[in-house]
Structure 1
Amino acid sequence: MSGDRARIEVSHLTKRYGEVTAVRDLTFTVEPGLVTGFLGPNGAGKTTTMRMLTGLVSPTSGTATIGGRPYRRLPRPSRTVGAVFDASAFHPGHTARDHLRVYAAMGGYPDSRVTALLDLLGLAEAADRRTRGFSTGMRQRLNLATALLGDPRVLLLDEPSNGLDPEGMRWLRGFLRQLADQGRTVLVSSHVLSEIQQLVDDVIMIRRGELVAAGPWSRLAGPPAVLVTSPDADRLAATLQASRPDGDAPSVEVIQAGRLRVHGLDAPGVADLAAEHRLRVHELVTETSSLEQLFLHLTTDKAATP
């Protein structure tokens, strides 16, 4: 499948349930070869959007396509899209192998594919255990194995990190990165922002069903700031702001007495300027924006604005 055939495109997508609008005029693109984080508070419309992508929910208006086609028009959907929405959708009396064989038969895939995925997902030793005894983390792995039966080029994963311990989270990061590096399109919703930040290339954020930010995480995060601790903080702030008379001076935020946050100049630049003017500096720390900070700024602060 070419890159174009693996691209997800959502255009002016809207879903209403009576008087409630779950998704409102949503437009974004998810590119192949990247892990894209789909983020928003509870009730923001993430799961509804992903279900519209897979034809489980019909949009009120707008379009959601994969490779230019709605899901229902894909000739063999499981070869194109693998989706994980529910970590508990297993028959409790089935073993992991039974479960995968049922879905393999439905999709027309050989038992050899089941064996390969049990190995790939680290489930070989548990293959003949009944799923009723599986931990949440093992259920997540089995869900991923189910989604990968058709070797799809697109993966839609709704909260795949739920229930994973730190080792499982590290495994998931590496596994999804490997899939993206193979040229697959990976869309992941999650509330574990610290983990998602270590994984994603692009970010899509929604609030109350509307888009609030989209793009590469490196661009959305912006350049790092410098935290400065100095007994001469007032003089240093004035010096920094007067350092470039052309109007392109660093911006300085006073955090508290003796502590500044500087944007527009890196740590060596702040140190050199302070030394030139014989101003004391006790600490310099480069501060990169976190996904959590951006998330809270765009979904909480904005919500509180009248």
Structure 2
Amino acid sequence: MTGERLAIEVSRLTKRYGDATVVRDLTFTVAPGVVTGFLGPNGAGKTTTMRMMTGLVSPSSGTATIGGLPYARLAEPARTVGAMFDANAFHPGHTARDHLRVYAAMSGCPDGRVTELLDLLGFTGAADRRTRGFSTGMRQRLNLATALLGDPRVLLLDEPGNGLDPAGMSWLRDLLRRLADEGRTVLISSHVLSEVQQLVDDLVVIRRGELVAAGPLSRLAGPPTVLVTSPDAAALAAALPAGAVEPAGPGQLRVRGLDAPAVADLAAAHRLRVHELVTAHADLERLFLDLTSDPVAAP
């Protein structure tokens, strides 16, 4: 499977438990070569959907395929898909090395891959410690190492940053970006929206098991705005294109549709002073709340 670019295709996926429908008619694509964020409030159906992708949960209807095949029909599923769901799926008496060796044997991976991952995940000094003493962050790293054992082309990671400190989050961002740049398909769910905004290229957002938005973050969030501080704000506003500017405070303007260099060039052409130019990207938290909040009933 090395080098293959495998998309995840979800088509009209539905899961019912008795009278409760937890996932309803979901359709979206997760592309290779990018990091896709899978977002939704608690109970929205994210984990259930990811488990249906790996055959851990059977759909009531619809399909989820990886490279055109359902998980059960993949020739080497452990070497094709790496999944990370439960951060506590460790025998408390096993060491990190023991744990990885067990899973390596199950998936047909050589012991050398275990050593490689212990180094990659920063476990060199803790490889022979019992997992019962691991912090949440260490458990997350070991869980991620387990998902990476087969050098998979597809990664499904449920809350991979849970318990990581800021340095760990920076390390995780770098790792996932590198894996995506290698052409792998990376789908992550997370509630830490500030981290998601720094990492993801695409978004899939669901609410109550239904799709509410999917596509590139840049398109869903809209273009960035430029915040301008100027003692000549009124004159600058008059010089800018109609409809592109609005007041943002005393001596400040918010400009849409132009980037910072264009605003600076226009100000210079009109001999107007500019004290500060800041490019402000759309806030993912605001976008998330707009997409997932229940509409307020009219009085």
| Alignment TM-score, normalising by the size of structure 1 | 0.86
1:212 correspondence with 2:205: no
Structure 1 residue 104 displacement after superposition: 1.6
Match 2:291 to one of 285, 289, 298: 298
| Cross-structure match for 1:246 | none
| Cross-structure match for 2:133 | 133
Identity of aligned residues (%): 78
| Cross-structure match for 2:92 | 92
Structure 1 residue 32 displacement after superposition: 1.4
Change (3 A) 1:6 1:231: same
Structure 1 stretches of 5 or more lacking a match?
Answer: 244-248
| Partner Cα separation in structure 2 for residue 5 and residue 287 of structure 1 | 33
What secondary structure does 1:161 align onto?
coil
| Cross-structure match for 1:266 | 259
| Partner Cα separation in structure 2 for residue 125 and residue 113 of structure 1 | 17
| Partner Cα separation in structure 1 for residue 151 and residue 120 of structure 2 | 12
Deviations 1:23-49 (A, max 9, x none): 121111111121111111111111111
Q: Which moved more, 1:266-275 or 1:1-10?
A: 266-275
CA contact 2:5–2:33 (8 Å) conserved in 1: no
Change (3 A) 1:283 1:180: closer
Counting matched residue pairs gives 298
What secondary structure does 1:58 align onto?
coil
| Partner Cα separation in structure 1 for residue 297 and residue 99 of structure 2 | 49
| Cross-structure match for 2:31 | 31
| Partner Cα separation in structure 2 for residue 150 and residue 269 of structure 1 | 48
| Cross-structure match for 1:108 | 108
| Cross-structure match for 2:226 | 226
| Partner Cα separation in structure 1 for residue 264 and residue 108 of structure 2 | 65
Structure 2 stretches of 5 or more lacking a match?
Answer: none
Change (3 A) 1:232 1:96: same
| Partner Cα separation in structure 2 for residue 268 and residue 124 of structure 1 | 47
Structure 1 residue 235 displacement after superposition: 7.0
| Partner Cα separation in structure 2 for residue 232 and residue 18 of structure 1 | 65
| Cross-structure match for 2:10 | 10
Deviations 1:92-132 (A, max 9, x none): 11111111111122222232222222122111221110000
CA contact 1:250–1:265 (8 Å) conserved in 2: no
